[in-house]
Structure 1
Amino acid sequence: MLPLKIGACLKSSEIADHYDWLFDDERDIELQDFGSYAALNHEFADRIATATSALNGFNGRLGIHGPYEGLDMDNKDPELRPIITARFLKALEAADRIGARQMVLHSPYTRWYQWNRLAKPNYWETKLARVHDVMTPVVKTAEDYGITLAIENILDVAPENRRAMVDSFGSDAIALSIDTGHAHLARRMSGAPPVDFFVRDAGDQLRHVHVQDLDGHADRHWAPGEGEIHWPEVFRALGDCTSQPHLVLELRRKTDIPKGFEYLKSLGLVC
């Protein structure tokens, strides 16, 4: 039911700039401090301390964005897959230590997969087996921590592929994330369905949404209202979702968070 409460994606150092808006109304926060090699290795303790300090007194829902650069959960090299698993596990440790109960990871499904999925025997099964090799220990650890992994669409063309992958684990610790900009970009570049169809396909598996706008040419991360996305229909679909996903503005310019919020609020979509 609309309007929906919305929060933001920020680094720990940026929280103070939006403190009252986030803390007074207990809005969702997604921390984006733990995505790099440095953050999960020699800077780990310092980043935990910085995040803990920045979040002091926060009572809203908290998640983090997990690592992703060079860390494809569908990696074909069997010697590299354990490294990817270890990196995801370290990020889960960070999430647990700062009190986050959600971690976003990137989908392995692409336009290449969509166009070639029937070109070879067992293409789906072979890809899924590699994903399970990387992710089974991660899903088990997420279960133990009580953290939900939210798998975000990146280059996905058909949302049902990612949903089927999530289903294959048979665990409440892995669910779906939607990035509105990525979905719209896939529509313009690859013939994907519109953003609201991504939401409706996810249904009650949806646990997290990155809200951003764009022009259909590049991953802009503009404030809502600056691009092409039809926000009323997207939020009608979100309003029908009973799983209460974390809803966060993921904007390139954090100074645009108030503008994006006010635009959606003026349409009666958020509060």
Structure 2
Amino acid sequence: MPPLKIGACLTAGEIETHREWLFDAERDIELQDFGSYKALTAEFEDRISAARAALEGHTGRRGIHGPYEGLDMDNKDPELRPLITARYLKALEAADRIGARQMVLHSPYRRWYAMNRLAKPGYAENLLERVHAIMDPVVQAAEDKGITLVIENILDVDPSHRRAMVDSFGSKAIALSIDTGHAHLARRMSGAPPVDYFVRDAGNQLEHVHLQDLDGHADRHWAPGEGEIHWPEVFRALGECESEPHLVLELRNKADIPKGFAYLSELGLAC
């Protein structure tokens, strides 16, 4: 299996430190400047300008992480749903204006759903209806802009639930994202399958991956090699994907990006 090219998740202000590594090899970049309330309101134009300046000269693929704090894609309050839609649409505008063709959003599925979905009639259908109420305008806007929404596992136990949700839209503007750390944490906490199973379940719907390692106790976002994940099998599964997903290191300590890259590179997995 040939090594796979990987990039990183950074804010605009952090790009310069890793500029040569990112730009010379046209690596994937995921900007993480547009997730907060301030970023999408009072600071919006300043952040757009900062992102454009930081990305000048970059010819690789780009994405952003969309907003998520307090913005549940499955919200039972009909008065709050339009606010969530509006935040997602504003983040899509940011993505479009900085030349990003992906936006990461968080999955609404968790262990509670996995254990309760068959406990009463209509449970799964009602959740999906609420998701569509929020997401239908966002998916349409993404189609119009040529951007793909990628839905990241957070507390997902069964990856097929999120995949079925993506399928329900019948649109190429929504696909799957996997966070390797979240998948492994779900395995240790909730009996989810291993990370490579998440990848293989996604198949060619996989368009984006957060690469991070952990100890199985907390969402550490350590560099690969510092935790428990079996990286050779994860990359074997990634090598089977024909969709060529964005592969980005999402590390809490950005100074560890060279170390995480070196570890995967020395294993012959990344380039």
Distance in 2, matches of 1:112 and 1:206, equals 24
The structural deviation recorded for 1:2 is 2.4
- Where structure 2 has 5 or more consecutive residues not aligned to the other structure, the ranges are none
Alignment of 1:8-23 (within 5 A): 8-23=8-23
Match of 1:106 in 2: 106
Distance in 2, matches of 1:97 and 1:27, equals 20
Question: Please, what TM-score do these two structures have when normalized by structure 2?
Answer: 1.00
The structural deviation recorded for 1:105 is 0.1
Instruction: Say if 1:181 and 1:212, in contact at 8 Å, map to a contact too.
Output: yes
DSSP 3-state at the match of 2:15: helix
Match of 1:2 in 2: 2
The structural deviation recorded for 1:120 is 1.0
Instruction: Say if 1:157 and 1:192, in contact at 8 Å, map to a contact too.
Output: yes
DSSP 3-state at the match of 2:136: helix
Instruction: Say if 1:2 and 1:236, in contact at 8 Å, map to a contact too.
Output: no
Question: Please, what TM-score do these two structures have when normalized by structure 1?
Answer: 1.00
Distance in 1, matches of 2:55 and 2:185, equals 33
Match of 1:225 in 2: 225
DSSP 3-state at the match of 2:261: helix
Per-residue CA deviation, residues 149-194 of structure 1 (Å, 9 max, x unaligned), is 0000000000000000000000000000000000000000000000
The structural deviation recorded for 1:241 is 0.4
* Paired letter, 2:13: S
Match of 2:234 in 1: 234
Per-residue CA deviation, residues 183-237 of structure 1 (Å, 9 max, x unaligned), is 0000000000000000000000000000000000000000000000000000000
* Paired letter, 2:121: P
Match of 1:87 in 2: 87
Instruction: Say if 1:107 and 1:154, in contact at 8 Å, map to a contact too.
Output: yes
Match of 2:57 in 1: 57
* Paired letter, 1:3: P
Identity %: 80
DSSP 3-state at the match of 1:215: coil
Per-residue CA deviation, residues 28-57 of structure 1 (Å, 9 max, x unaligned), is 000000000000000000000000000000
* Paired letter, 2:246: H
Distance in 2, matches of 1:200 and 1:126, equals 28
The structure 1 segments of at least 4 consecutive aligned residues displaced by more than 4 Å after TM superposition are none
DSSP 3-state at the match of 1:209: strand
Please tell me the root mean square deviation across aligned C-alpha atoms, in Å. Answer: 0.4
Match of 1:116 in 2: 116
Match of 2:210 in 1: 210
Alignment of 1:139-150 (within 5 A): 139-150=139-150
Match of 2:165 in 1: 165
